[in-house]
Structure 1
C-alpha cells in the first residue's frame, strides 16, 4: 500500500513554491550545497514531504553524482504517487546508469545526458509543468500551466516587490543618515570652529592654531576645545582626534610624530572635561605630516576631530 502524502494546505502552496524556486535558483547557479541546505531546512512536514521538494532533492543529488540518494527521494515520491512520471523516468535512468557491458555503456552515456538535462531544466522542477518520460531521446511533454505555476509567478513577483521595498528602505535610511550628519555639522560649528561633512562623519577643524608651542594650549585653543566639547555632550558618536605638526627642515616629513600624538591626547583631555565623556570614549592618533591641514607652521599646531554619529 502506498503512503499518503502529508496534506498541504492551500496557504502552504506558496511556501512550497518559494522554497523550491529559491533552491532551484541556487542549483542552476552551481551552488548545489546551498540548494540542499535550503531544502533540508524545511522543518515543516507539509513542506519537507511535498512531492516537488522530494523531486528536487532527487535531482540535486543526481547532479552531485549521488545516485543512491537520488533514488531514495524518487522512491519517496512514488510512495505518494506510484505513477509519477518524473520519478519513474529518473529511477529508470539511474538503473541504466548502473548496468554493465558495452550496450549499457552506450545507455549510460545517453541516459546520463538526459538525466543531467532533466536536473538542470527549470520547468521540470515544478510539478505540473513538465512531465519527464522514460524515453531518453524524446522531448518532455508539456502540460497546461498549473496552480503551482501561477503560484510561482506570484512568488517571483512578491520577491521582486520585496527587493524593491528593501532598496527603497535602504535609500530612505541613507537619506536620513545624510540629513543627520549634515545637521550635526551645523550644530558643531562655532566661531573659530569649522565642521564639514565627510561621508558618514563630520570633520572638525580650527581656524587658528590651538597650541603655542609643543603641546601647550593657547587660551583661545583651550576655549575652542571647550566649546566643541560642550556641543559633543550627550551625543552618541565615535570621536577620533588626530594631532598635527607641520613638516620642518631637519625633521621627518612623514610617518607622524610623538608631538602630534601628544597634541591629540591633550585635546582629548579637554574635550572629555567639557563633554563629560570619559577619556576612553576618544580615539587619538598622530596624523602624517603630509596631511597637515594648512600651509605654514603656526596654524598646523592643531588637531582635527572626526565625529561619526552612531
Structure 2
C-alpha cells in the first residue's frame, strides 16, 4: 500500500514537472524533478530542461544515466547526438559578440513541445511558435497520465477491499458474540478484535478444582464452539498469595486453563489441540475480588481468511 502511494506521488510529481516544462517554468520543473527518485523518465526530462537552459554538459550527463538504466533508450541516444552536434558546431564557428551569442543560444536550444515533453531543436534559427495542442490530444499523448490513472485505480481498489474486509471482520465478530449470548452466568464482551467470555462466578474452588456449577457452562460453550469457526484462547487466572509470585502468571493459572480446555473439548467433541492456553498476570483478573478471579476467560477471534 505504502509503495503504491509513493509510486503515485512520484508519477504525479513527474506529471507536474512535465506541465511546468511545457509552460516554460524551467525552475519549477527542475525543483519538482529534484524531489523524486531518478528514473528513465525523470532523468530524460531533466536532461531536456538542462539543455533548454543551455547546460549541455549536464544534460549529456543525465542522458548517460538514462543509458546506464536502459542501454537502448532511443531518446537518450538522440539527445546525446543532438548535443554532440551542437557542441561540435559551436567549436567550428568563430567567436561572436554577446548579442550574437544570445541569438545563437536561443536558436540552438529552441524547443518543440510534443505531448508535454520538451525536446531539443538543433536548428540555427528560431522556429515559429508551436501551435497550441488540444488538451485531449496532450493527455492522450502523455503515457504518464495513463500510469497515474492506473495507480489511482489500484489504490482505490485496495482501499475499497480494505474497507470491505474490515466490515466483514466486524460482522464475523458480531456473529460470534450472538452465538454465545444467553448462557446463564456467562458475560459476553464484544471487543474491537475479539469476543471475551467471562464467568460471573469463580470457576474453581481452589487450585485447579473446578466448581460444580462451572462444568455444564464450559460444556455448553464447547458445544457452541463445534462449528463456530473461531480461534479459541483459554486464559487462566490466579490471585497473588502471600509469599508467592505477584506477577507473570503462575502454574496454577495454566493448570486451570488446561482443565477448562478438557471440558470445552468434551462439549464440542473437539481435539485439545483446537485450543490455545495462556496465563494472565495476577493483576489482570476480570474482577476486583479473589473468589471470582479463580477462573478462566475465553477469547474468541476470527481466523485469518474466515471473514473474506
Interval containing the TM-score (normalised by the shorter chain): 0.5 to 0.7
CA drift of 1:255 comes to 1.0
Structure 2: how far apart are the matches of 1:71 and 1:133?
20
Structure 2: how far apart are the matches of 1:94 and 1:249?
90
Distance 1:96 1:259, change over 3 A: farther
* Structure 2 counterparts to residues 144-163 of structure 1, below 5 A: 144=133, 145-146=137-138, 148-149=140-141, 152-153=144-145, 156-163=148-155
Structure 2: how far apart are the matches of 1:300 and 1:23?
60
Q: Which of the numbers 219, 228, 231 marks the counterpart of 1:235?
A: 228
Structure 2: tracts of 5 or more residues without a match:
1-7, 16-32, 49-59, 88-111, 304-308
CA drift of 1:240 comes to 0.8
Match of residue 276 from structure 1: 269
TM-score (norm 2): 0.61
Match of residue 129 from structure 1: 116
Structure 1: how far apart are the matches of 2:213 and 2:177?
21
- Asked whether 1:300 is paired with 2:303, we answer no
Structure 1: how far apart are the matches of 2:176 and 2:300?
9
Q: Which of the numbers 152, 160, 172 marks the counterpart of 2:164?
A: 172
How many residues align? The count is 232
Match of residue 226 from structure 1: 219
Secondary structure, counterpart of 2:170 in structure 1: helix
Q: Cα RMSD between the aligned structures?
A: 4.1
CA drift of 1:161 comes to 4.1
Secondary structure, counterpart of 2:72 in structure 1: helix
CA drift of 1:212 comes to 1.2
Structure 1: how far apart are the matches of 2:154 and 2:67?
38
Structure 2: how far apart are the matches of 1:64 and 1:132?
13
TM-score (norm 1): 0.61
Match of residue 205 from structure 2: 212
CA drift of 1:258 comes to 0.5
Please tell me whether the aligned partners of residues 139 and 145 of structure 2 are also in contact (alpha carbons under 8 angstroms).
no
CA drift of 1:196 comes to 1.1
Q: Which of the numbers 166, 180, 184 marks the counterpart of 1:188?
A: 180
Distance 1:70 1:268, change over 3 A: closer
Q: Which has the larger radius of gyration?
A: 2
Match of residue 10 from structure 1: none
Distance 1:29 1:209, change over 3 A: farther
CA drift of 1:91 comes to 4.4
CA drift of 1:197 comes to 1.7
- Asked whether 1:199 is paired with 2:192, we answer yes
CA drift of 1:280 comes to 1.2
Please tell me whether the aligned partners of residues 255 and 288 of structure 1 are also in contact (alpha carbons under 8 angstroms).
yes
Distance 1:29 1:131, change over 3 A: closer
Structure 1: tracts of 5 or more residues without a match:
1-17, 37-51, 78-85, 98-123
Structure 1: how far apart are the matches of 2:188 and 2:63?
59
CA drift of 1:23 comes to 12
Structure 2: how far apart are the matches of 1:94 and 1:23?
30
